[in-house]
Amino acid sequence: MNRLTRLDRALFRVQAQHICLEWIFREIAGRPGIVFEMGLGHGRTYDHLRTYLPERELYVLDREVDCFEDCIPPDDRLLLGDIADTLAAAATRFGGQVVFAHADLGSYDEAHNVAIRAKLSRFLPAVLAPGAIVLSDLSLELSGARALPLPAGAREGRYFLYRTDLTPMNEIQPRPA
C-alpha cells in the first residue's frame, strides 16, 4: 500500500464533498432557511448548490469573484470582503436564518487556516438557524453545534460536518410556571 498521493487526496476530497452534499440536500429538504456558500473559488460548488437547491436564497461570501464565467453569482447575492467582516455584517441581516452553510476556505497555508478557523468559529454561529448544517473543509469549533460523522462512502477527515442544536442559541428558555 502506497502513501496517499495528492491525486488520491484530491479524489477522496471531492468524493466526500459530493456525498456530504447529497446527504445535506435531503436533510434540509422541506425546512425553511437560506444557504451560505463561503469561498466561491472556481464556482464548482456554487454551481452544484444553485442546481440542487433552486428554490433557496443562496448567498456567496468571498473576497472577490474569480470563477468560471457561467458561475458568477448575481450581484445581490454576493457578500464580498474578508469573511470576518461579511459574517459579522450578516449577523444583523441574516441572524439565525441560515439552514446550511458550506465553507471551502482552507488552503495549504496553515497560518491562513488557523486564521480562517478562528473567524468562522467566532462569527458563523450567529447566522445559523436551529438544526442548521455546516460543511467545511476545515475543522471548526462552533458554539452550539456538534460534529457529525460523515455519511457512508465519505472518508473521514476530508470534510467536517456539524449540526447546531435545535434550541436557538439566543433564545431564553421560559421558566416553567
Binding site for its own copies (CB under 8 A): 2-3, 5-8, 10-11, 14-15, 17-18, 21, 42-45, 47-48, 51-52, 68, 71, 108
Q: Do 37 and 46 contact (CB within 8 A), yes or no?
A: yes
Residue closer to its own copies, measured from CB, 50 or 163: 50
Q: How far is the CB of 8 from its own copies (least distance, A)?
A: 7
**CB 61, min distance to its own copies, A:** 18
With respect to its own copies, which residue has the nearer C-beta, 129 or 133? 133
Could you tell me the three cell numbers for 3?
Answer: 502513501
Closest CA to 46 of 76, 13, 87, 78: 78
Closest distance of CB 104 from its own copies, Å: 11
Judged by beta carbon, residue 48 or residue 117, the one nearer its own copies is: 48
Q: Which residues contact 151 (CB under 8 A, 6 or more apart)?
A: 19, 20, 22, 23
| Residue 29 CB neighbours (<10 A) | 8
CB of 103 to its own copies, least distance (A): 15
Residue 43 Cβ vs its own copies, minimum distance, rounded to whole Å:
7
Which amino acid makes up residue 71? C
Between 6 and 175, name the residue whose CB sits nearer to its own copies.
Answer: 6
Q: Which is nearer to its own copies, 74 or 108 (CB)?
A: 108
Q: Which run of H or of E encompasses 92?
A: helix 83-94
Distance CA 37, CA 23 (A): 17
